[in-house]
Amino acid sequence: MHRVYLDNNATTPLLPEVFEAMRPYFFEKFGNASSIHQQGQQARSAVEHAREQVAELLNCRPAEIVFTSGGTEGDNLALFGLMKPGDHLITSSVEHHAVLNACKRLEEMGCAVTYLPVDGRALVDPDDVRRALRPATKMISIILANNETGVLQPVSEIGKVATEADVYFHTDAVQAAGKVPLDVKETGCDLLTITGHKMHGPQGAGALFVRRGTLLQPMMYGGRHERSRRAGTENLAGIVGLGKAAEIAREGFADGSVERMAGLRDRLEHGIVESVEQIGVNSVGAPRVPNTTNIYFDCIEGEAMVIALDLKGLSVSTGAACSSGAIEPSHVLTAMGLSPDRARASIRFSLGKQNTADDVEFALSLVPEVVARLREISPVYKRVHA
Amino acid sequence: MPTSKTIAVAMSGGVDSSAVAALLCEQGHNVVGLTLQLWNQRRLAGHEGMPESVQGRCCSIDDVYDARRVAETLGIPYYVVNQEDRFEHDVVRPFVSEYLSGRTPVPCSLCNNHLKFDQLLITARQIGADLLATGHYARNEFDERSGRWVLKRPADRAKDQTYFLFGLTQEQLSRTLFPLGEMRKPEVREEARRAGLRLFEKPDSQEICFIPGGDYKKFLDAYLAEQGEEFPDTAGELVTTSGEVVGTHGGIHNFTVGQRKGLGVATGSPLYVLEIRGDKRQVVVGGGDELFSRTLRAKAVNWIAIDDLRGPMRVQAKIRHRHEPADAVIEKSGDDEVLATFDKPQRAITPGQAVVFYDGDAVVGGGWIT
């Protein structure tokens, strides 16, 4: 069966160049980067090269990069590494669970957390951040690009608020890397999380930018890896892949590949809007990453639509990937004011650099037909049109 | 079946539904596996009286894992459909309120009637499957003369599940397959083994899926505590049929009609619960001979083999899951109410349970005992 993958916000396929860069580090260059001998030195040099590649993507110093296992670890290390009982943290109601559930744990540990609301386009108001500041505020953590809607938060404005108030600012940039240019100086953040597998790198390798002078309490204890900020033998091949993916991601802003992806996303979005009635694009009009569109189809169940499309060869998602299937309607969509029904009727299409115009046409050939069939048997749709 | 169809199989992760998936694959059908995620077994774990770790029947992580492995082995697409909200609303809540008002509910029938078939048939159509197959032991045949789909008892009488299926509508039956209807359990296990399914020896489970360990009183406690609701005070009197107060009790939910133990009253002869009067918080007790009754009334009756009951009809009526159907005559006794009169008095007719009427193997219909 012909298959098209439009769920790149869940994970992206590895680029062949990335795999080629990683391959030797599984075999002949297998060393432990902490070893004294030649294999060790070779590994160390590869890790440090990757650190430079990631630093270039983020416009920071290589020493400010801590390699992690991915986005969840990066977010957790940022939050648990700085927050102490009694401290206050400001975050939003549209964060990824890696931040939201870490915040719940911080509350159990005696921290205070403010969850800021968002407007109808899912945007956080920087003035709300300012108003939420307290003497005990230690940190602000706001997602840069939302995983479900692709909305870009005004992080530079929030960065200014953080600088003025002299509090730490962390941003989860997992879904932004490779899609919009990142610059920690311009953003004014002290910590920033990325992961490899959302930008055509390997799963299990990520990085946390930690501004120089930020004293981070590690979460794992062991050897003095990563300047004692993250113990454990480096995931050598993964880190090499992450570095290569970061390099390609940075080039993507100049070589036209991001622009091409944006064009395909727009074609898909317009095509669906033109061919299906009673739908709407969530967060339309807000600044968004160029690969994501999140659309509600009234009177359908998103879960059923994902299954129906999957059986016809198209992979999409109802929003955040969840191990046992979606349980609650998306907290992101309900926070921006969608009814639970409309949140459950929302589908996320997310493109990657591998997608082609044919992929988009394939999706456009399936979606109207599947929506029509689902509506035909939907008791809700019949009621509306009775 | 000569032609290949797209069939959704309701997969619980047990042997029966896994064997159904295997059988339909062998017959060349285009099979899609579906599991309903109905209850989060971790939800009440650790609450007072509930086990810390849980191994419930359906919906446990292990069972979803088993179902997924079966689908992988058979090479069929497989999806988990979450219906926790509806399950809580349509099954768990009514279950709790039934107990709290002194009745003894049958959650599996509630689930089949209001959720399982309804939702799975909708999901099946949504994904392009016309038919739904389940691992229930029952038969389903179209009767040309009456023009109706008729639910029948299975070949393996010991596994008969028709008691839990009395609520199926004609529309639902017309789109449902019970491939195990002609098979016996050992043959089903053999089919699973032959298809290479590693779970072919997995034990059967009879308990209510959302009540691990089967202790419904602890479940009521834990559920109400989780909901932040006060356990209603339903303590009251133990009375005899003549109205004499012979003691007190701690709450009507602790009793089921026919129960003998735990009454806390010492008398010469054994006492049984005869009736629970929810409105008066009274539990009526008496001798074992008083437990027998010749009549019952049923409401919310669903007819299967007939389109309506037009006059008195001779049937065999089954009043609980482990009851051998007994000869009776049924007739209408009001709007949506049926009176069943047994030839011989039956023991412990229990409000809240289902009564299912049979004509030989065929399910005539069924309803809820009032």
Q: Read off the pLDDT of residues B85-137 as tens digits, 9 standing for 90 and up.
A: 888 999 999 999 888 888 888 888 888 887 889 889 999 999 999 899 999 99
Asked whether residue B69 carries a pLDDT value surpassing 80, the answer given is yes
Confidence of residue A326 (pLDDT cuts 50, 70, 90): very low
Kindly state whether A320 is in contact with chain B, defined as any CB-CB distance less than 8 angstroms: no
Residue A141, CA atoms < 13 Å, CB-side half-sphere: 33
Cβ burial of A167 (10 Å; 0-12, 13-18, 19+) is: buried
Domain limits of chain B?
A: 6-135+179-217, 236-286
Whole-angstrom CA distances from A93 to A146, A174, A280, A329 are 11, 17, 22, 14
Asked whether residue B239 carries a pLDDT value surpassing 60, the answer given is yes
| A26-30 contacts, C-beta under 8 A, 24 or more apart | A26/A237, A29/A236, A30/A236
Topology alike, domains A4-12+256-385 and A16-251:
no
Q: Which residues of B touch A303 (CB under 8 A)?
A: 81-82
Whole-angstrom CA distances from A53 to A209, A243, A358, B62 are 13, 5, 33, 43
Four-residue CA torsion sign, A295, A300, A304, A310: negative
Cα separation, A39 vs B283, in Å, equals: 81
Asked whether residue A90 carries a pLDDT value surpassing 50, the answer given is yes
State the pLDDT at residue B268: 72
Domain limits of chain A?
A: 4-12+256-385, 16-251
In what helix (H) or strand (E) does residue B354 lie, and over which residues does it extend? Answer: strand B354-359
Cα separation, A91 vs A95, in Å, equals: 8
Confidence of residue A325 (pLDDT cuts 50, 70, 90): very low
Confidence of residue B52 (pLDDT cuts 50, 70, 90): low
State the pLDDT at residue B131: 96
Q: Is B126 close to A311, i.e. CB distance below 8 A?
A: no
State the pLDDT at residue B2: 53
| Residues written for chain B | 370
Closest among A278, A385, A294 to A343, alpha carbons compared: A294
Confidence of residue B353 (pLDDT cuts 50, 70, 90): very high
Q: Which residues of A touch B127 (CB under 8 A)?
A: 304, 307-308, 311
B318 and B356 Cβ atoms separated by less than 8 Å? yes
Residue A143 to chain B, least CA–CA distance (Å): 28
Q: Is A311 close to B84, i.e. CB distance below 8 A?
A: no
Give the CATH H-level superfamily of domain A4-12+256-385: Aspartate Aminotransferase, domain 1 (3.90.1150.10)
Query: Which tokens go with B112?
Result: 């089949």
The pairing of beta strand B337-347 with beta strand B326-334: antiparallel
Cα separation, B160 vs B168, in Å, equals: 16
The pairing of beta strand A191-195 with beta strand A168-172: parallel
Least CB-CB distance to A327: which of B64, B82, B122? Answer: B82
Segment A204-231 shows an average pLDDT of 94
Asked whether residue A19 carries a pLDDT value surpassing 70, the answer given is yes
State the pLDDT at residue B60: 64
Closest among B256, B251, B217, B218 to B234, alpha carbons compared: B251
B76 and A320 Cβ atoms separated by less than 8 Å? no
Q: Which CATH number fits domain A16-251: 3.40.640.10, 3.40.50.300, 3.40.50.2300, 3.30.465.10?
A: 3.40.640.10
Q: Is A373 close to B32, i.e. CB distance below 8 A?
A: no
Residue B111, CA atoms < 13 Å, CB-side half-sphere: 20
Kindly state whether B80 is in contact with chain A, defined as any CB-CB distance less than 8 angstroms: yes
Q: Is A324 close to B80, i.e. CB distance below 8 A?
A: yes
Mutate to test the interface with A, among B126, B132, B175 (most CBs of A within 10 A): B126
Q: Is A377 close to B79, i.e. CB distance below 8 A?
A: no
For B73-82, what is each residue's pLDDT tens digit? Answer: 999 999 988 8
Cα separation, A166 vs A171, in Å, equals: 16
Which DSSP letter does residue B304 get? S
State the pLDDT at residue B213: 74
Residue B52 to chain A, least CA–CA distance (Å): 20
Q: Is B128 close to A373, i.e. CB distance below 8 A?
A: yes
Residue A95 to chain B, least CA–CA distance (Å): 23
Can you say whether residue B300 is alpha, beta or left, with left for phi > 0 and alpha for psi between -120 and 50 degrees?
left
A122 and A145 Cβ atoms separated by less than 8 Å? no
Q: Give the orientation angle of helix B15-26 with respect to helix B61-74, to 10 degrees.
A: 20
Name residue, tokens 């789909």.
B149
Name residue, tokens 């989780």.
B226
A346 and A149 Cβ atoms separated by less than 8 Å? no
Name residue, tokens 């003035």.
A127
Q: Is A311 close to B128, i.e. CB distance below 8 A?
A: yes
Q: Give the bridge partners for B10, in sequence order.
A: B34
Four-residue CA torsion sign, A78, A84, A89, A92: positive
Residue B213 to chain A, least CA–CA distance (Å): 24
For B330-342, what is each residue's pLDDT tens digit? Answer: 999 988 899 999 9
Q: Which residues of A touch B175 (CB under 8 A)?
A: none
Cβ burial of B102 (10 Å; 0-12, 13-18, 19+) is: buried
Mutate to test the interface with B, among A1, A310, A311 (most CBs of B within 10 A): A311
Residue A307 to chain B, least CA–CA distance (Å): 7
* Phi/psi of residue B362, nearest 5 degrees: -85, 140
Q: Give the bridge partners for B342, in sequence order.
A: B328
Kindly state whether A310 is in contact with chain B, defined as any CB-CB distance less than 8 angstroms: yes
Q: Which of A60, A111, A299, A322 is catalytic?
A: A322
Which of the residue ranges A259-263, A282-286, B110-114, B317-321 would you say has the lowest mean pLDDT? Answer: B110-114
Q: Which amino acid is at A167?
A: V
| B78 to chain A: closest CA residue | A307
Cα separation, A324 vs A164, in Å, equals: 43
CB pairs A-B closer than 8 Å: 43
Asked whether residue B39 carries a pLDDT value surpassing 70, the answer given is yes
A246 and A56 Cβ atoms separated by less than 8 Å? yes
Kindly state whether B79 is in contact with chain A, defined as any CB-CB distance less than 8 angstroms: yes
Asked whether residue A324 carries a pLDDT value surpassing 50, the answer given is no
Cβ-based neighbours of A173, under 8 Å, separated by 6 or more: A144, A145, A182, A192, A193, A194
Cα separation, B102 vs B350, in Å, equals: 10
Least CB-CB distance to A308: which of B40, B122, B126? Answer: B126
Cα separation, B232 vs B279, in Å, equals: 13
For A102-158, what is each residue's pLDDT tens digit? Answer: 999 999 999 999 999 999 999 999 999 999 999 999 999 999 999 999 999 999 999
| Residues written for chain A | 386
Asked whether residue B209 carries a pLDDT value surpassing 90, the answer given is no
User: Catalytic annotation on B59?
Assistant: no
Chain mean pLDDT for chain A:
95
Mutate to test the interface with B, among A307, A314, A334 (most CBs of B within 10 A): A307
State the pLDDT at residue B92: 92
Residue B67 to chain A, least CA–CA distance (Å): 13
Q: Is A308 close to B127, i.e. CB distance below 8 A?
A: yes
Q: Give the bridge partners for B302, in sequence order.
A: B366
Radius of gyration of chain B (CA): 22
Q: Is B37 close to A324, i.e. CB distance below 8 A?
A: yes
What 3 state SS string does chain A have? Answer: CCCEECECCCCCCCCHHHHHHHHHHCCCCCCCCCCCCHHHHHHHHHHHHHHHHHHHHHCCCHHHEEEECCHHHHHHHHHHHHCCCCCEEEEECCCCHHHHHHHHHHHHCCCEEEEECCCCCCCCCHHHHHHHCCCCEEEEECCCECCCCCEECCHHHHHHHHHHHCCEEEEECCCCCCCCCCCHHHHCCCEEEEEHHHCCCCCCCEEEEECCCCCCCCCCCCCCHHHHCCCCCCCHHHHHHHHHHHHHHHHCCCCCHHHHHHHHHHHHHHHHHHHCCCEEECCCCCCECCCEEEEEECCCCHHHHHHHHHHCCEECECCCCCCCCCCCCCHHHHHCCCCHHHHHCEEEEECCCCCCHHHHHHHHHHHHHHHHHHHHCCHHHHHHHC
Four-residue CA torsion sign, B182, B184, B190, B192: positive
**How many other CB atoms are found less than 10 A from the CB of residue A306?**
24
Cα separation, B223 vs B49, in Å, equals: 11
Query: Which tokens go with A86?
Result: 């009694």
Least CB-CB distance to A377: which of B32, B81, B126? Answer: B126
Residue of B250 and A135 predicted with greater confidence: A135
Question: What is the CATH architecture of B236-286?
Answer: Roll (2.30)
Which of the residue ranges A86-95, B62-71, B199-208 would you say has the lowest mean pLDDT? Answer: B199-208
| B32 to chain A: closest CA residue | A311
Whole-angstrom CA distances from B345 to B244, B326, B327 are 25, 9, 10
What number does CATH give the domain B6-135+179-217?
Answer: 3.40.50.620
Can you say whether residue B59 is alpha, beta or left, with left for phi > 0 and alpha for psi between -120 and 50 degrees?
left
Residues above pLDDT 70, as percent of chain A: 96
Query: Which tokens go with B334?
Result: 């009001």
Asked whether residue B55 carries a pLDDT value surpassing 60, the answer given is no
Q: Is A373 close to B126, i.e. CB distance below 8 A?
A: yes
Chain mean pLDDT for chain B:
89
Cβ-based neighbours of B196, under 8 Å, separated by 6 or more: B73
